[in-house]
Amino acid sequence: MSDSATKTICLAISGASGFPYAQRLLQCLLQKGCRVHLLISDAAREVARLEMGLQLPEDVETLRDFLLNLLDIDLQQTNAQLHCYTSRDWLSPVASGSAHMDAMVVCPCSTGTLAAIATGQSHNLIQRAATVTLKESRRLIIMPRETPVSAIQLEHMLKLSQLGVRIVPASPGFYQQPKTVADLIDFMVARLLQQLDIPHDLLPQWGME
């Protein structure tokens, strides 16, 4: 993968609980100067409202400005880029293998999205982008957020893992002695950044303090 300052990441937010993970990950990616292609499902918009009290704008340009303001990101200072798309924007770069992407992250990943990816469906842009990522043998990282899980969901995760997909369940650890919810969020976001080969200082490296 390319240098973190020039990485192009497709970030998909599906309708599982865990919008704060996605919000923090987006902030970190932009702060690192990445180009981010952002996909948000309709269900994820509802989760954002329920968990964060956020009314995400429907218009993609308005949504982009809303998120940059929310995350306190000045693109001119970071050299980052943020592109937002609707769920059926089939002309977006993430819908085609001819457009360069370093990796795709689905954070959080609902069990419905998990099933769709594992069975090769392309009914919306998130599913299509994941299909493209797999067929182009690019890095795909998913963060399932569900408990308990059935044998069906475990089979889907096993199938994707065997295809090289990185499975990073939303299971924050406590050995860092977190003091706040934000600490727990950073624990998981740090794991995602590590999978993307993006340096961070959200957590100390084990044994390297």
pLDDT means per 10 residues in the chain (209 residues)? 73 98 98 97 97 97 98 94 95 96 98 98 97 98 96 98 98 93 97 96 72
The alpha-carbon radius of gyration of the chain (Å, integer) is 16
- Find the domain containing 95 and state its range: 4-195
Residue with tokens 């992407």: 101
Instruction: Tell me whether residue 202 is in a domain.
Output: no
pLDDT at 203: 82
Instruction: Tell me whether residue 183 is in a domain.
Output: yes
CA distances from 25 to 83, 107, 154 (A): 15, 9, 25
pLDDT at 1: 46
Q: Report how far residue 143's alpha carbon sits from residue 165's, in angstroms, rounded to the nearest whole number.
A: 11
Q: Report how far residue 203's alpha carbon sits from residue 174's, in angstroms, rounded to the nearest whole number.
A: 12
Contact between 34 and 8 under an 8 Å Cβ cutoff? The reply is yes
- Structure tokens, 22: 């996605």
Q: Report how far residue 125's alpha carbon sits from residue 9's, in angstroms, rounded to the nearest whole number.
A: 15
Q: Report how far residue 11's alpha carbon sits from residue 104's, in angstroms, rounded to the nearest whole number.
A: 6
Instruction: Tell me whether residue 205 is in a domain.
Output: no
Amino acid at 187: F
The enclosing domain of 39 has a CATH number of 3.40.50.1950
**Which pTM value belongs to this model?**
0.94
Instruction: Tell me whether residue 102 is in a domain.
Output: yes
How many domains is the chain partitioned into structurally? Answer: 1
Instruction: Tell me whether residue 125 is in a domain.
Output: yes
Q: Report how far residue 4's alpha carbon sits from residue 200's, in angstroms, rounded to the nearest whole number.
A: 10
pLDDT at 20: 98
Q: How many residues does the chain have?
A: 209
Q: Report how far residue 155's alpha carbon sits from residue 111's, in angstroms, rounded to the nearest whole number.
A: 12
Instruction: Tell me whether residue 50 is in a domain.
Output: yes
pLDDT at 74: 96
Contact between 108 and 71 under an 8 Å Cβ cutoff? The reply is no
